[in-house]
């Protein structure tokens, strides 16, 4: 596994705050994508999930995460769809190739790398999705695992 240190460039995103099973993620992505198209926004490439806890810590119904896309354009206010600017920050990251359900070892490897290389992990894990499970076999899915970090 190749782990890199890099800057995450500032991005304007729209997102849905989610609670419960990860099995609902495809539905949230579809809902958000339809909303982006309906509002005439331009998707600028970042499709992500940020995960604030994990199935190892809480029951499935208490999982908290957000699903989002980077966009350009005039973002209208909405009760369910939120928007924000993610500031530029440093991350340690690695690419996982394969099913989403098998990303665990990459998450552990990136976290271990951060700690052993003098970083404090300063926020929740983010997964950036590079391709679509509706378009490629799950063995070809590419997911970048990112932890935001600061030097100790």
Domain segments of the chain as ranges = 3-151
Q: Each residue of 45-99: pLDDT tens digit?
A: 999 999 999 999 999 999 999 999 999 999 999 999 999 999 999 999 999 999 9
> Is the pLDDT score of 152 beyond 90?
no
Fold of 3-151: Multidrug-efflux Transporter 1 Regulator Bmrr; Chain A (3.20.80)
The overall pTM is greater than 0.85: yes
pLDDT at 55: 92
Report DSSP letters for the chain, one per residue: --EEEEEEPPEEEEEEEEES-GGGHHHHHHHHHHHHHHTTPEEEEEEEEEESS-TTTS-GGG-EEEEEEEEES-PPP-SSEEEEEEPPEEEEEEEEES-GGG-HHHHHHHHHHHHHTTEEE-S-EEEEE-S-TTTS-GGG-EEEEEEEEEE-
Q: Each residue of 101-151: pLDDT tens digit?
A: 999 999 999 999 999 999 999 999 999 999 999 899 999 999 999 999 999
pLDDT at 14: 98
């Amino acid at each position: 596994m190749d782990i890199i240190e890099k800057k995450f460039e500032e991005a304007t995103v729209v997102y849905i705050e989610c609670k419960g099973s990860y099995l609902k993620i495809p539905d949230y992505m579809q809902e958000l994508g339809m909303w982006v198209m309906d509002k005439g926004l331009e998707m600028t490439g970042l499709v992500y999930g940020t995960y604030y806890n994990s199935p190892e810590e809480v029951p499935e119904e208490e999982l908290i995460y957000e699903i989002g896309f980077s966009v350009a354009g005039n973002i209208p206010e909405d009760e369910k769809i939120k928007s924000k600017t993610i500031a530029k920050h440093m991350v340690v990251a690695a690419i996982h190739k394969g099913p989403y359900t098998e990303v665990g070892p990459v998450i552990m490897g990136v976290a271990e790398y951060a700690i052993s290389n003098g970083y404090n992990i300063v926020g929740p894990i983010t997964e950036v999705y590079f391709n679509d499970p509706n378009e490629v076999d799950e063995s070809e899915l590419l997911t970048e695992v990112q932890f935001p970090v600061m030097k100790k």
